[in-house]
Amino acid sequence: MITLKPLCKQLRWLVLLAAPLAGAGPLPELIPLPQTVEARPGVFTLAPQTRIVVSAGTRDTGRYLAAQLTPATGYHFKVKTTPGDPMPAGTIFLSINTNLPGVGAEGYDLSVTPEAVTLQGADAAGVFYGVQTLLQLLPPEIYATNTAAGVAWQAPCVHISDQPRFKWRGLMLDVSRHFYTKPEVERLLDLMAQQKLNTFHWHLVDDQGWRIEIKKYPRLTEVGAWRAGVGFKLDPASTTAYGKDGRYGGFYTQQDIKEVVAYAQSRHITIVPEIEMPGHCIAALAAYPEYSCSGGPYSIDATGGVFHGAYCAGNEATFTFLAGVLDEVMDLFPGQYIHIGGDEVRKDAWRNCEKCQERMRVEGLKDERQLQSYFIRRIEKIVDAHGHNLIGWSEIREGGLAPSAAVMDWIGGAVEAATNGHYVVMSPTKYGYFDHYQSTNHTTEPHAIGGYLPLSQVYAFEPIPAKLPPQFDAQILGGQANLWTEYVPNFRHVQYMVFPRICALSEALWSPKDARDWTSFQQRLPAELARLDEEGVNYRKGFSE
Ligand code: ACM
Ligand code: ZN
């Protein structure tokens, strides 16, 4: 499905893009499309003596750039703070300039001439995104992991002024239904950064596995991180995530988490950890059944069924336990938001629990929906007291939304939350569920959970809800796609579900709304796929749907 834009807006953009100076080549094939691109005559050529000259705040990105350029070119670029005298031809200058006209946070101004590349970021992130654009200007072989012989390492001369449309540009990965190793998660962060995404939502906990070490509650990973087999009727050979005893699973130690957080920071990605509550918590209840209403026992089952467990909202010990868990989580993740889930809570256990019913009487709560709201408000206080903010799925609005909470809209509620002053992140099933099929022909696709989300539909994702009065637009922080992984048993398969749909997501979240054009995107996509081929990414081919 393609949203048609008013023709006048489209024409204005085309004029801006299609006005190259005499002698300039075609416009470069960039994804996401920058705010403005002006092609100029000539090329810049990378050579062994090319220097990367950094100034305050750009050294890390200078080193990142050198590290990206070295494998394919075989050149070892020097990263210096002064250009040297005489200045060698072909210098790349990186700097921060907080006064760039028309360029805000995370934006940059990139000028490529035959003599030099001059990249100014509005901040350190802006320089990093300018580097991503510079890499795309070079031949796709620049992404090769081994030396690529016989390539002219030329970038067309160009002036680009760019900034993102949204500040939350995210991807969620569910590591509970299937486990991916730390290097695999870091690889995903690399690939996200290339798409100029800046938020990794790490779904660390669910019914089928608890994946983060909590020192105060060791059984969460001793028991909660393991199950009998791969589950979901999948081939046991489709994964290598087995423990020494043959059980399926795995978890990240706190040291692993610290390293992943640092890795993400060096790529200007914030990690939002998700600790699901009050439902989707069977893995935790298998370890600590005393925090359920029934007292258990629970065991981790991965048949794909619906689960009826929830933390007991009437038991004070539940809140002590969750505060202990969250304290450790919040010490590990420096980002503003802590995601506490809140979706799909089955209330039957609460209805049949004396403690929960007593809580409702004492607190004057008229139904279990209000008990859910009570639960979320108590957790909100814990999160706020730590200087973070709580975010949860659409259902955290049930029974009344906690005052400072942000909503992640997957099944509605964005307009109501935003007009009441809450921040909202859009991840609607219709545009952002990467667990859905990429084709209607299921015989040619790996088994998926259902649904249909072709590339064209991701491209049509508009994060600002049509019904939102425009004065509340700023409450919409941005959007993200979610990869639930019931039927995604290994990291090659993660890549297949994510690519190339993430390229369409990237443009939906970064590029100016009026500039988005499905035909133009399709024309630019083969160049992006060539880059993905060079770096060995497994993506779905036959992308025209
Ligand atoms: C969800 O997809 N249950 C948030
Ligand atoms: Zn209870």
The whole-number average pLDDT for the span 123-144 is 98
Q: What's the average model confidence in pLDDT over 139-146?
A: 97
Indicate if the pLDDT at residue 330 is higher than 70.
yes
Task: Look up 206 and say whether it is catalytic.
Answer: yes
Which ligand has its closest atom nearest to the C-alpha of 486?
1
Q: Greater confidence, 8 or 269?
A: 269
| pLDDT computed for residue 14 by the predictor | 39
Tell me, yes or no, if 386 is annotated catalytic: no
- CA 248 – ligand 2 centroid, Å: 30
Atom of ligand 1 nearest to the CA of 280: 3
- Tell how far CA 3 is from the center of its chain: 24
- The residue from 174, 206, 486, 507 that is catalytic is 206
Residue 482 CA: nearest ligand 1 atom is 2
Q: Which two tokens stand for residue 85?
A: 């005298």
Helix, strand, coil shares of the chain, percent, nearest 5, are 35, 20, 45
- Per-residue model confidence (pLDDT) at position 21: 61
C-beta 307 within 6 A of ligand 1: no
Query: 115 an active-site residue?
Result: no
Judged against a pLDDT cut of 90, whether residue 542 lies above it is answered with no
Q: Please check whether residue 204 is in contact with residue 273, taking contact to mean a CB–CB distance below 8 angstroms.
A: yes
The beta-strand segments (E) located in 446-490 are 476-483
Residue whose token pair is 């983060």: 212
344 in contact with ligand 1, CB cutoff 6 A: yes
Confidence check: pLDDT of 288 > 70: yes
125 Rama sector, left if φ>0, alpha if ψ -120 to 50, beta otherwise: alpha
Q: Is 92 helix (H, G, I), strand (E, B) or coil?
A: strand
- The predicted-structure confidence for 187-213, as pLDDT tens digits, reads as follows 999 999 999 999 999 999 999 999 999
Ligand 1, atom 2: closest residue by C-alpha: 410
In this predicted structure, what is the pLDDT of residue 23?
A: 73
Task: Say yes or no: CB of residue 449 within 6 Å of ligand 1.
Answer: no
Question: What pLDDT, on a 0 to 100 scale, did the predictor assign at position 190?
Answer: 98
**pTM score:** 0.95
Q: Is 434 in the pocket of ligand 1 (CB under 6 A)?
A: no
Report which ligand 1 atom has the smallest distance to the Cα of 408.
Answer: 4
Q: Domains of the chain (ranges plus CATH)?
A: 2-162 (3.30.379.10), 168-510 (3.20.20.80)
pLDDT of 11 reads 37
- List the residue whose alpha carbon is closest to atom 3 of ligand 1: 343
What residue ranges in 240-349 does DSSP mark as E strands? 248-249, 270-277, 337-341
Residues 522 and 500: beta-carbon distance below 8 Å: no
**Residue whose C-alpha is closest to residue 91's, from 128, 63, 119:** 119
